[in-house]
């Protein structure tokens, strides 16, 4: 049965990649930068997004969010409180978002009205790595509370990322977080991976993160 399973998986991914390519062209045509946020559960994606949406709003930037979760719209309601347009995707047990889920939830949105579209992926460092959502930027979050070895345990995710956000850096000392080891592991899986240390609790690193987003938007959405 193994060869048959592999064949089905290849077909699924090929279909997903074709739709993702169409989405990427659609996003570029609308001039919106799409950012796919991936991490393990509890790494701080939602709080980072709250801070990001408020920071972008203060700069007059327009952002929207698609939130992926197995169940509930808890995170979507939190993010909606920022005033940004937010839509929930409940996967009902599926461990990742795919391009079709994203495409289906875009219905009725004028993408040209947004500068940024953030996709908060399902909390998982395995399955989302294989699925292109049409994003221009993939960001992997690594929390100091998770330990330093996540990049080498889940290399494909960090290899496919354009940026790593080290989150909850204000807890680094309390967690005895070894920066040298963490950075060494990140470089081991991708030598040129840029890293930004952040603390959504104290707004640390948010300005650098927002500048990064603006730079990417300027280089991708032309």
For 194, other C-beta atoms within 10 Å of its C-beta total 12
DSSP string, 105-160: HTTT--GGG-SEEEEE--S-SSGGGG---S-SEEEEEEEGGG-S-HHHHSHHHHHT
Query: Range of 189's domain?
Result: 2-220
- Nearest Cα neighbor of 38 from 199, 198, 158 is 158
CATH number, residue 83? 3.40.50.300
Q: What is the pLDDT of residues 156-208, one digit of tens each?
A: 999 999 999 999 999 999 999 999 999 999 999 999 999 999 998 888 899 99
Q: Is the pLDDT of residue 2 over 60?
A: no
pLDDT at 11: 74
Q: Could you give the number of structural domains in the chain?
A: 1
pLDDT category at 9 given cuts 50, 70, 90 is low
Mean pLDDT over the full length of the chain? 93
- pLDDT exceeds cutoff 50 at 80: yes
Q: And the tokens for 117?
A: 């579209």
Q: What is the pLDDT of residue 222?
A: 58
Task: Give the strand order in the sheet containing 116-120.
Answer: 86-90, 63-69, 116-120, 33-38, 137-143, 163-167, 194-197
> How many angstroms separate the Cα of 197 from the Cα of each of 9, 132, 202?
36, 25, 12
164 torsion bin: left (phi>0), alpha (psi -120 to 50), beta (else): beta
- pLDDT tens by residue, 123-164: 999 999 999 999 999 999 999 999 999 999 999 999 999 999
Q: Is the pTM of this model over 0.85?
A: yes
Q: Is the pLDDT of residue 8 over 90?
A: no
- For the residues 102-114, what does the mean pLDDT come to? 97
123: its two tokens:
């909390």
Whether the predicted pLDDT of 3 surpasses 90 = no
């Amino acid at each position: 049965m193994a060869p048959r399973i592999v064949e089905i998986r290849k077909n699924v991914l090929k279909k997903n990649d074709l739709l993702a390519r169409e989405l990427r062209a659609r996003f570029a045509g609308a001039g919106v930068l799409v950012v796919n946020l991936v991490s393990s559960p509890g790494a701080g994606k939602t709080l980072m997004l709250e801070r990001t949406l408020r920071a972008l709003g203060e700069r007059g930037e327009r952002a929207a969010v698609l939130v992926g979760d197995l169940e509930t719209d808890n995170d979507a309601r939190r993010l909606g409180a920022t005033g940004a347009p937010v839509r929930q995707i409940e996967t009902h047990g599926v461990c990742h978002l795919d391009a079709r889920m994203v495409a289906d939830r875009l219905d009725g949105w004028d993408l040209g009205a947004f500068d940024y579209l953030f996709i908060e992926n399902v909390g998982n460092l395995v399955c989302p790595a294989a699925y292109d959502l049409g994003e221009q930027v993939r960001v992997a979050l690594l929390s100091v509370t998770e330990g330093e070895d996540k990049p080498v345990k889940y290399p494909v995710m960090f290899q496919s990322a354009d940026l790593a956000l080290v989150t909850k850096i204000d807890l680094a000392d309390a967690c005895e977080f070894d920066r040298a080891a963490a950075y060494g592991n990140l470089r081991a899986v991708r030598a040129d991976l840029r890293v930004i240390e952040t603390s959504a609790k104290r707004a640390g690193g948010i300005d650098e993160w927002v500048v990064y987003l603006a730079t990417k938007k300027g280089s991708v959405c032309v």
